[in-house]
Amino acid sequence: MNTFSAILSIVFAALLVTTNPADAKPKSKTKTKTAKKASQTTTYPLLGNPNSTYRGWDYLASRLRKAGVPESEIREIFANPNMPRFTFVPFKVRPKEPHSIYASFDRDSFAQLGASFIEEYDQEFNRMERKYGVPREVVTAILVIETQIGRHTGNELIVHRLSRLASVLDPNNVKENYRKLKATDPSVTLDDVKNRGRYLEDTFLPEIPALIEISRRNQVNTFNILGSSAGAFGIPQFLPTAFIKYGVDGDGDGHVSLFNKIDALWSAGNYLAAFGYKADLPYAERRKVIWEYNRSEAYIDTVFRVASRIRSIGAMGCRRHGGTDEAEAIKVGWCPEPRE
């Protein structure tokens, strides 16, 4: 997702969704699953012309056309009866993600889940750390928070969710949001609404061509790719552009699958490394890197808190660190510094 900054924080704030990263139904390890019907948390009124060729998505179709997406591919998605009609997309102009949505991750069971995952894939983490220099407990904390390491990857129709986010600047949608927001906060201006809508469109519009490219590469139907209400998918919950940029074939089977745990840990490590994460960075700099994964202070706090708890469990066996000597384990941040 361009910088992948919007994976959850934008969506929680933009769409008024109240679900947390681990609330979706479990998904199989396969890359895709047939979606019988796109689900929505709330039923919103139709916007645009629902009887048009593009089922009300005319504004988005025009934006994609301008971005160079072939007309045949636009029609294949938006004239498809499997694509829900375009409805109102509510969003906020000054969003902020509350810490409370991550409170459940303070439970010991999540730290233990992460520690067990690290123990099971110890050798893969050794290889990943040697290449990227990203501590295993940080990668694992992200995977725990995002999907409980694959237990809950989402059951939403990705193309629909991304299309909604990319359509927020539709004039009818802007007008309706302005009316609703102004009624509850008189200080909101039309420019506020348009500026926020422009940011969301700029963020999510590129995700649709990227999703089309992923479908083409993997020879899968776009309507069979499922994930979260944020439009992200897989164990690390990447948006399509992030998958293309940072996805790694960690197990060397010739395919990149974010539903494969080895590929997922390598891909998340690659993502963080691309933004400069190192174990010896100052804390403030490490926070800046996690900000690129999810622009939410609450999320960043939770990642480091969960990583610390995972590390505290792992430290009890650091001398057995998959053959890695204790000095190296300390260097990558897995084992604590010895105390005098």
Q: Give the domain range for residue 66.
A: 9-331
Chain Cα centroid distance, residue 13: 14
HSE, CB side, 13 Å, CA atoms: give it for residue 48. 25
Q: Tally the domains of the chain.
A: 1
- Comparing CA positions, the residue from 263, 262, 329 lying closest to residue 120 is 262
Asked whether the beta carbons of 59 and 67 are under 8 A apart, the reply is: no
Range name among 101-110, 115-124, 226-235, 325-334 with the lowest pLDDT average: 325-334
Per-residue pLDDT, 38: 46
Residues with Cβ within 8 Å of 35's Cβ and at least 6 positions away in sequence, in order, are 82, 155, 157, 223, 224, 226
Cβ atoms of 303 and 138 within 8 Å: the answer is: yes
Handedness of CA 181, 183, 185, 186 (dihedral sign): positive
Q: Dump pLDDT digits (tens) for 111-120.
A: 999 999 999 9
The model's confidence at residue 264, banded by pLDDT at 50, 70 and 90, is very high
Tell me if 159 is assigned to some domain: yes
Q: Is residue 137 within 8 Å of 314, Cβ to Cβ?
A: yes
Secondary structure percentages of the chain, helix, strand, coil, to 5: 55, 5, 45
Lowest-pLDDT range of 18-27, 91-100, 242-251, 274-283:
18-27
Question: pLDDT tens across 16-42, in order?
Answer: 332 334 333 333 333 344 444 444 446
Residue 55 forms part of a structural domain? yes
pLDDT over 80 at 331, yes or no? no
Is 273 inside any structural domain? Answer: yes
